[in-house]
Amino acid sequence: MGTSCCHSSPALPHSFFALNLKNCLSLSSPKASTRGVHQIRALNVKVMQEDMVMNIPHVLSVAGSDSGAGAGIQADLKACASRGVYCSTVITAVTAQNTAGVQGVHTVPEEFVAKQLKSVLSDMDVDVVKTGMLPSINIVKVLCQSLKQFPVRALVVDPVMVSTSGDVLAGPSILDIFREQLLPMADIVTPNLKEASALLGGLQLKTVDDMCSAVKSIHDIGPRNVLLKGGDLPASLDAVDVFFDGENIFELCFPRIKTQNTHGTGCTLASCIAAELAKGSPMLSAVKVAKRYVQTALDYSKDIVIGNGIQGPFDHLFKLKSIALNSFRQWAFDPSVLFLYAVTDSGMNKRWGRSITDAVEAAIQGGATIVQLREKDIETGEFLEAAKACLKICHLHGVPVLINDRVDVALACDADGVHVGQSDMPARMARTLLGPEKIIGVSCKTPEQARQAWIDGADYIGCGGVYPTNTKANNRTIGLEGLKTVCLASKLPVVAIGGIGVSNARSVMELDLPNVKGVAVVSALFNRECVLAETRKLRTVLREKPAGRK
């Protein structure tokens, strides 16, 4: 395979622009002089734009469409997206397909496949081409010609001939052109046992030793690397794949996952390899990452049920199960959950002989509407286990749980979001890591900080300390007037925090600011003997109508 080179214009020295500007200004006509200045400015902008080009890893999938979205083009798109790689597509066939099998195949005419290939390869900087279902000899020929005209960094060939459910997707007539033209161009080929047997003239593969011999024979056909997938190997407790780079054989073993949700594993593995190669990984590293990714996805998705057939799809993005288990979550953040915002404190709980989970359960029963786990004095492992337990308790009551500061813990336990301070991870970075659906709050004391929280994609701000408090060292108080100033500048809903309790919560709510949605409390709940009773008292106070309202 050739390597495509993208040559950007070299940065030009300042003297170049100065010299040309001088030449332009020396033109006799004022109009010509003005035109010359504009030309230089345009050239300057173009050079700067070229210098700022960001190379996005790009995989082109040339494969069939699966209407059930478990395999084919759909699996390739999801696999590349999960690996952070852009994926374009060329459709070679449209299948009527579901979890029961393939009910029909409609081959796309080779002329139109050629148009798709030219459209993508002539315009976009494709790093790696990954092939799946190639249903006709002429489509294979068109692909090989296109790759000679538009060379890419690597070609990953998944020789799709028979689906995992046993449906034939490519006839024996294609085998010859695979051997003669396509495989000699491939950087890696990823057959399963049935496909490897077909490529080798019907050779039966029943053991790992058979696989080790087969990868060498397939390598002799021409591909630079061979990955033989042994998922269907009989009487094997592990899922064993054999990789051969022309010199060394590697047996890649992972525990076999007991699940029927295996539709699309081959497509996904090849796409993941392509994605890692597009990012610049060496071949063996790309194969290992892809193998681990598929293994993890299978384990995560082993119990999900989609369709009534014998072979279901799996979840490439690791989202479906958590969404189903946490169906109470709302897609849009509801500011009303800020009404009674309970913030835990490990030191206070220890003082009263309570665990974090006991404190959280009492606060929930007392009427807390959202919980923030603010645990500064415990180890990360202990915090993570406590967070998981608190999530179960809170989610049973439909109450969201946020983690204070620790985005890593929030990700590990799949919390509903985080709350960050001005000296913690910026909200925009937390949003990038957590995604669009999680809740992000930011502590703010000034209008400028409140405006920045809006720009950075926060959902709400915590404003304070309103009153003096002992829960945070050197915490400057802003008073009710400071709270009012920040609220008037904020486009986000606000929860007031800092020294608030039963005795002064009414003063906060009587400011009658429309974006003040509630109060956040620490000591008033958790530095008391009975968290349940104190939470109920505060909830009653907050529900009272402010003076002057009917």
The one catalytic residue in 267, 272, 394, 463 is 267
Active site residue 80: no
Per the CB < 8 A criterion, the answer to whether 475 and 496 are in contact is no
Q: How many CA atoms lie within 13 A of 32 on its CB side?
A: 8
Give the C-alpha separation, 275 to 316, whole Å.
14
Active site residue 518: no
Active site residue 262: yes
Question: Strand 86-98 relative to strand 101-107: parallel, antiparallel, unpaired?
Answer: antiparallel
Active site residue 265: yes
The CA-CA-CA angle for residues 69, 256, 165, to 5°, reads: 40
Question: Strand 249-255 relative to strand 238-244: parallel, antiparallel, unpaired?
Answer: antiparallel
Give the sign of the dihedral formed by CA 411, CA 399, CA 344, CA 505.
positive
Helix (H, G, I), strand (E, B) or coil at 457: coil
The one catalytic residue in 229, 438, 517, 537 is 229
Bridge partners of 367? Answer: none
Active site residue 164: no
**CA proximity to 548, closest of 514, 521, 509, 502:** 509
Instruction: List CB contacts of 178: < 8 A, sequence separation 6 or more.
Output: 140, 159, 199
**Using the 8-state DSSP alphabet, how is residue 90 labeled?**
E
3-class secondary structure per residue, 186-202:
CCEECCEHHHHHHHCCC
The residue type found at 230 is: G
The one catalytic residue in 264, 417, 465, 501 is 264
The one catalytic residue in 64, 72, 230, 266 is 266
**Using the 8-state DSSP alphabet, how is residue 495 labeled?**
E
Give the C-alpha separation, 254 to 240, whole Å.
7
* Residue linked to tokens 């994926």: 87
The one catalytic residue in 95, 99, 262, 357 is 262
Active site residue 266: yes
The one catalytic residue in 265, 344, 369, 471 is 265
Give the sign of the dihedral formed by CA 26, CA 30, CA 36, CA 37.
positive
**Burial class for 320, CB neighbours closer than 10 Å (0-12, 13-18, 19+):** middle
Axis-axis angle for helices 265-278, 283-301 (nearest 10): 140
Catalytic residues: 229, 262, 264-267
